[in-house]
Amino acid sequence: MRLTLSLTALAGLAACATGPVEYAGPVATVLAMNETAPMNGEGDLADDPAIWVNASDPASSLILGTNKDEGVYVYALDGGELQELPVGRVNNVDLRGNIAVGSNDELNAISWFEIDPRTLTVKELGNSETGKDEPYGICSGLSGETYRVAVTYKDGTIQLWSGNWETIETVNPVLERTMNVPTKIEGCVFDDESDRLFVDEEDYGIWAFDLSDPDAKPVTVDRIAGGHGLVADVEGIGLWQGKDGAGYLVASAQAADRFVVYDRQPPFTPRGVFRIADNTAIGIDGVSHTDGLDITSAPLPGLPRGAMVVQDDANPIKEYEQNFKIVSWADIESALGLPQD
């Protein structure tokens, strides 16, 4: 089934964003408390992380991160590299439960992975072709026993795939529907509780899709012309999920080396802007030009309110030994004065 949208109307909205609006508000500062081992080599290698929380032993949780030239890397919470899965050019990665997915533009497919909580290892399950060239971004969601995967493309297409959670190892998802925005998108995140999908249109802003209504038109969360701190390229987005639907959406304003925070629920009120600066006390450099990010609200060792993990373009030299930085969500709350639920 194809979701029919008024692309003329969407294009008209996008045309309003003719350029960035100067942001005059405050930019808070937070520091990374840890970082992953670098991806050895030059070039734009690292892109997108995903946090796997080990419910039975939070200290043994993992971070998956993409190397756009090689595949998926696996890290411990202390940042040490545990595994490399050379499955091809995977741009983005996401997960639900013990199942992870990656957008593999070498194979024009969704790459599927399983995390074994006993051995703390990740194995490749296989690939499912998308039928469309160069899958770009990816995110996963869970609705009852239905495992959902959104795949985004540079032409503004969003494919929504689904499969049965209990038989996902067969790697045989069904294309549920196709949606569109006018121009290039990459980052996306599901809000499972609200049956909502957020996507970023890089030169326009952020959209929210109501997945419960196939005929619903997307709603604008924010535009780069909105003056709230968002700029092109709008890149990674993630959710910090509180109780009873509370929480926050975070987007990377890549060109400005900063992050914009919004309420998770409509009307998606902007809550502030922050950057990640040098932590000179422990020798961790600041963050610039972030592509992908992920957030968990689950308590982890030393991270009682959860964590945000972000890609860092310069570590500290641009496009050299890129890695992922780990930030305490409690520090973000404190820096922006966010109320704790």
- Cα 151 to Cα 214, 269, 285, 322: the distances in Å are 17, 26, 32, 24
Architecture of the domain spanning 22-336: 6 Propeller (2.120)
Give the contacts of 145 (CB within 8 A, at least 6 positions apart): 164, 165, 166
242 in Cβ contact with 297 (< 8 Å): yes
Structure tokens at 293: 């990010």
What Cα–Cα distance (Å) separates residue 226 from each residue in 252, 266, 274?
15, 16, 17
Task: Name the burial class of residue 129, with classes exposed (0-12), middle (13-18) and buried (19+) by CB atoms within 10 angstroms of its CB.
Answer: exposed
Tokens for 219, please give them. Answer: 């709603």
Q: Which residues contact 313 (CB under 8 A, 6 or more apart)?
A: 44, 288, 289, 290, 291, 319, 322
φ, ψ (nearest 5 deg) of residue 165: -55, -40
Domain ranges of the chain: 22-336
**Calpha distance 200→153 (Å, rounded):** 11
Single out the residue of 324, 322, 326 nearest to residue 300, CA to CA.
326
- Provide the pLDDT for residue 216: 86
Amino acid symbol at 335 = A
Beta-strand relationship, 28-31 and 270-277: parallel
* Cβ–Cβ < 8 Å for 138, 155: no
pLDDT of 285 reads 96
Say how far apart CA 32 and CA 280 lie, in whole Å: 10
CA 144 to chain CA centroid, nearest Å:
22
- Quote the pLDDT of residue 43: 85
Cα dihedral sign, 224-229-233-237: negative
pLDDT (tens, 9 = 90+) of the chain, 341 residues, equals 333 333 333 444 443 444 455 788 999 999 999 999 999 888 889 999 999 999 999 999 999 999 999 999 999 999 999 999 999 999 999 999 999 999 999 999 999 999 999 999 999 999 999 999 999 999 999 998 899 999 999 999 999 999 887 666 677 899 999 999 999 999 999 999 999 999 999 999 999 999 999 888 999 999 999 999 999 999 999 999 999 999 999 999 999 999 999 999 999 999 999 999 999 999 999 999 999 999 999 999 999 999 999 999 999 999 889 999 999 999 999 999 999 87
Phi and psi at 92, nearest 5°, equal -125, 160
Edge-first strand order for the sheet with 90-96 is 90-96, 99-104, 109-116, 121-129
| Termini Cα distance of the chain | 39
Amino acid at the residue 18:
T
Residue 112 structure tokens? 């599927």
Q: Is the pTM of this model over 0.85?
A: yes
Spatial separation of the C-alpha atoms in residues 66 and 74, rounded to whole Å: 9
Identify whether the C-beta of residue 162 lies closer than 8 Å to the C-beta of residue 123. Answer: no
Give the whole-angstrom CA distance, residue 124 versus residue 110: 11
The pair of structure tokens assigned to 100 is 């992870």
For residue 21, the model assigns a pLDDT of: 58
